[in-house]
Structure 1
Amino acid sequence: MKLTKLLVVALCTSLFISCSDDDDKTNDPKGVYDNGVFILNEGNSSGGSVSFLSDDQSTFTANVYSTVNGNDYIGTYLQHIFFDGDKAYIIAGGSNVINVVNRYTFQLLAKIESGLKTPRYGVVKDGKAYVTNANTYAYANPETGDTDDFIAVIDLKTNKVESTIPLNGTANRIELANNKLYVSEPYSSDAIIVVNPNTNQVESRIAIGYDADTMEEEDGILYVMRSPYGNRSEIVKIKLADNSISKVTLGASLDGAKNLDIENDVIYFTVNTGVYQMNRTATTAPTTPVFEYTSTSDYGKMYGFAVNDGRIYIADGGDFASNSKAYIYSLNGTLEKELTVGVGPNGFYFN
C-alpha cells in the first residue's frame, strides 16, 4: 500500500517520531575518521604511520595512529590495511604484527603478534582473515626462500592465527573472488595460486607468466598486471568460471607497467610517472598517458596508486628517509590536492 506524503507526516507527528531526524542519523559519521581516505606510510626501521584526508578535503591528519594511541608503537615497514566491519587491520611486515583498530576512531583494540612471518596482504571471509606471509627471502635462505611462503588463517574473534596454508611458492598480493583465494606469485613461478578456503589447500595454479603483481576482480574476471624484466608488460584476464586466459600485451614504451586499478569499467595503470587508462574490454593498449606528475624519487615513483569515486590518488615514495608527498587528481589530470604525508607512502584505503 502506498502512503501519501501527508499521511506519512501525520503518522510521524502522532507517534512523536521525527522522520527527518531518523533519516539524518543514517548519514551521521561513525567517528572522526569516517568518510575519508587513509594513506599508509611504509616508513623505515624507525616505524611507519597512517595519514587521513576527509572526503571533502577540508580535514587532514598527518599521523592518525599516534594522534589517537599516543606512544604505542605501530611497527616497521607498514604494508597493507584491510577492513572487516568496523575494524581496520594494519599489517606491519617488518615487525610481524597486525594492529587492530576501530576504523572510524582509530582506537587500538588488539595486536596480532604471533604466527606471522613477514606478513604482506590480507583479505577477510566468513570471520577469518587470510594474510600472505613472505617468510624468509632467497638471499637469506637460498634453499627454501622462494618456496616457504604461507597464508596465515586468523580467527577474527580471538585475533589468533589458527592455522597456516603452505604455498610452496612466493606469496604477495591476495584477492578474494569466486569464493576462492587468488595469490600472485611473482618470483618462483609463472602462476597465480588458487586456494580453497573451505579446505585450506592449494587447489591449482594458473600459469600466466612471471612477475605478476597487482590484481582486481570484476564481473567474474580476474585482471592481473605482470611486468617481466626485459620483456613486455601484460594485462592478463582470467575468466574465473573456467580459468581461461586472454591477454593485452602493452607496447615497449609501457615496459614496467604497474598499479592496475579498475573504476567504472575503466582500467587504470601507471608507467614511470604517467597514468594510463583503457576500457575493460579493449584488446589494444593506450600509447599516451592521461597525465604525468613530477617526481625526483629514484625508486619510489608511483609508489602508491588508487582510483576511487572520480579521483586519482598518487603517492610518491620520495627518499624513504623523510616525509613525502601524496597527490589527488581529477580523472582528467587536474591537481586537486597536494599533501605532505609520512615516509614512503604506499597505499590508499577508503573509509
Structure 2
Amino acid sequence: MGVVVNLEEERGRKKALETLTALVADDMKGVNRLIVERMDSPVALIPQLAGHIVAAGGKRLRPMLTLASARMCGHQEQRHVGLATCVEFIHTATLLHDDVVDESDLRRGESSANALWGNKPSVLVGDFLFSRAFELMVENGSLKVLAILSGASSTIAEGEVHQLITTNDTDTGEAAYLDVIKGKTAALFAAACRVGAVVADRPDVEEEALDSYGMNLGIVFQLIDDMLDYSAKQAELGKTVGDDFREGKITLPIILAFRRGTEEEREFWRRTLENLNQDEGDLERAIELMEKREALVDTVARARHYGAIARDALGIFPDNPERQALIDIVDFCIERAH
C-alpha cells in the first residue's frame, strides 16, 4: 500500500502524543512511582519479570487516558493516579498472557518475558499484576470504579477466548470480529476513560460519553494494529510482519480480502489460514491480495469512521486542553498507519 506522507501531518501526529504526555506529566510521575512500588515483592522473580515488560517501553496510552479524562472532568485530587496505575497493570498482565498464548518471542522489539523466563512464570506474574490491580481498585474506595474495572477485566478475557474460537475460521464475519476487538482491546480503553468521570463525580451522561469515546478509540487502535501486521511499517515498530497470518488470526484485512476475492483466492486463504499450510512466499501473496482487494486501505477507512464517533462523544465537555488532547489523540492512533 503506497502512501505519500505529509511531513506537516507527521509532525502534527507526534505533537498530539507529546501534548497529551505533557499535560499529564506530573500525574504520570506518580503513576510510575506507584508502578515500581506495587511491582515489588520478596519473590525476586516477580519484580524482575514484571519490570522487564514495563521497561520495554510503550506509550502508556491507557493510563494517560485515565489521567486526562479525570482532569478534563475537573478532578483536582489524586485518586486518578491509583486508577491509572491499575489500568496499566491490567494491560501489562494481558500482554504477559497474550505472549504466552501467541507463543511470541518479541515484545516491542525486545525478547518477550516468556522467551526469557518461560511460559509458567509469565502467566503467574501476569496473575500477580491482575491481583495488584484489584488491590488498587479496592483502595480507591468506589464500588462503581470496582464494577467498571473488574467488568473490563472479565470482558478482556472473554474477548481473548472469542478470538481463539474465530482463529483459523475464514467464515468469521465483520460483526464477530468487532465483538472480538471490543472485548480484547476496546473494553479497557472504555473503562480507562469512564473512571475519569467517576472519580470526578460527574453525571452519568458524561460517564457514558467517555465510555463511548474510549470504546471507539480502542476499536480504532486495534483496527490499525491489525492493518499494520501486513505493513512494512511494522518493522519500524519493533514487530515482525505477518504474525497474525502465521497464527491464522482472522482480522478485518483478511475478512475483506476473503469476501471480495475469487474462489481461487478464497482457496488460498483456506489453505493458509484454516489449515495453516503455508509455503514460502505465501505472506507476500496474502499482502498482494489484500492490496488488490483494497482490504488494507478500507481497514483504515473503518478506523476513521470509529474515530469520528470517538471525537463526537467528547462534544458535551467544555473546551479545555485535556479535551483537545483527547480529540487529537484519535488522529494519532489512526495515522500510525502511515
TM (norm. structure 1) is 0.29
Structure with more of its chain in helix, by fraction? 2
Q: Larger Cα Rg: Structure 1 or Structure 2?
A: 1
Structure with the larger RCO, 1 or 2 (CA within 8 Å, 6+ apart): 2
Normalized against structure 2, the TM-score is what?
Answer: 0.29
